[in-house]
Amino acid sequence: MNSKEQFFKQTYIDRLKQLSGNEIGLWGVLSPQGMIEHMADAFANAYGKIKLPAQTPEAILPKMRAFALSDIPFKENTKNVLMSETPAPLRHQTISDAINELDLEIKSFIEHYKLHPGQINLNPFFGELNYEEWLQLLYKHAQHHLKQFNIA
C-alpha cells in the first residue's frame, strides 16, 4: 500500500480526533470543524462527486502542476479564490460528525479509484489528476492543515 494512502487509512482521522473544535489555527479563518469540512470537500472533488471550475490559466498550469506533485509544502495563509474571507457556515452539528463525513469521503475516494483506476478528475488549481497525483496533493493539503492546528 502506498504510504500516503496508508496515512489516510490509518493515521489522519486519529490526528483530527485530537481536536476539540475550540482551537485557533496558527493562520487562516477556518475553525477546526470548518477545516475538516473543507477537507471533506477536497476529497469529494478528487473523485468527481463535487465538480469545480478550472481557475488556472493554461499558460501557468504546468508550473502549478509541478508544485502540486512536489514535496514543497503549501505556504501558511495560502489563499483559495473559491473560498470567501468569511468561513462558510458549518454543515454539521459537531466536529465528530464532520470527522465522520471526512472519513466517509476518504473511503469513497479510495474505493472510487479502485473501481476506476485510470480515471482523472479536475482540480480547479492544478488541472487533471489521476489517483496517485490526487493522493500526493491531498496528502500535501492535509499536512498543511494539520500544521495549521499544530497536530502534524
Q: What pLDDT sits at residue 1? A: 64
Domains with residue ranges and CATH for the chain:
3-16+28-148 (1.20.120)
Question: pLDDT for 129-152, tens place per residue?
Answer: 999 999 999 999 999 999 999 998
**Average pLDDT of 104-112?**
98
Q: Choose among 49, 50, 34: nearest CA to 83.
A: 34
Q: What is the pTM of this model?
A: 0.96
Grid cell listed for 93: 452539528
Separation CA 130–CA 79 (nearest Å) = 24
Each residue's pLDDT tens digit, 44-96: 999 999 999 999 999 999 999 999 999 999 999 998 988 988 999 999 999 99
Per DSSP, the residues of 61-80 read HHHHHHHHTSSPPPPTT---
| Residues whose CB is less than 8 angstroms from the CB of residue 3 and which lie 6 or more positions away in sequence, other chains included | none
CA–CA gap between residue 79 and residue 85 (Å, rounded)? 9
